Amino acid sequence: MTKERQIIFSDPMVRALLDGIKTQTRRLVNPQPEGFSGRWAWETNKWFSDRRQPNGDDDGSPTPCPYGRPGDRLWVREAWSRESWPSGVTTEYRASWGKAGDRLKWKPAIHMPREYSRIRLEITDVRVERLHEISEADALVEGMASMMRGCTRSADEARGWFQYLWNTLHPGIGSWQDNPWVWVISLRRIESS
């Protein structure tokens, strides 16, 4: 059964989604597995913990990806505003306005109601890996290609941009230095019908 969930993206990543550049996202596995214990069950899209219960039993409990599994859909939350214009009331999106929108009163993405979302995504793949396993190609489809426009590329430049962005979003626990386990979610944009 296909489910629909919400997911939040920053302005640069919304622009990368709209441009068709961002087709992957990484999100922290929470809670983090201890050490390297545990296994990923591909057939059920769940992480199984190898942690021991206080009584010594293997809990073996599945931890599903909170964003869903292949075939499930996501609606994007982003910074937004409801504005009154002479032509009527519209929903505006900060990612589309840039600096020109500084005069508008933006609401945080977390408060965006479902009906104002303009971007729908379908999950095409989910896997678990350590953050440092991100390849240069994966960093590009994480949206770094849009952030690097006009730059001359050198080896691992997209990974460097990704590392910088990751640390701005995760300055404490879960930072690049921690090399946490992450959900790697591949996405496909769905055109509105």
Spell out the domains of the chain, with CATH numbers in brackets.
4-30+66-75+117-190 (2.30.130.30)
Measure the CA–CA gap between 8 and 116, rounded to whole angstroms: 13
Average pLDDT of the residues in 151-157: 63
Q: Among all chains, which residue has been given the structure tokens 């992957």?
A: 24
Measure the CA–CA gap between 45 and 78, rounded to whole angstroms: 27
Average pLDDT of the residues in 119-132: 95
Looking at the chain, the whole-number percentage of residues with pLDDT higher than 70 is 78
Measure the CA–CA gap between 164 and 144, rounded to whole angstroms: 11
pLDDT tens for each residue of 16-60: 999 999 999 999 998 887 654 445 555 555 555 544 433 334 455
Task: Give the dihedral of Cα atoms 67, 186, 10, 12; nearest 10 deg.
Answer: -170
pLDDT tens for each residue of 51-95: 443 333 445 555 789 999 999 999 999 999 999 999 999 999 999
Choice between 79 and 156, residue whose per-residue pLDDT is larger: 79
CB atoms within 10 A of CB 65: 21
55 HSE (CA, 13 A, CB side) = 2
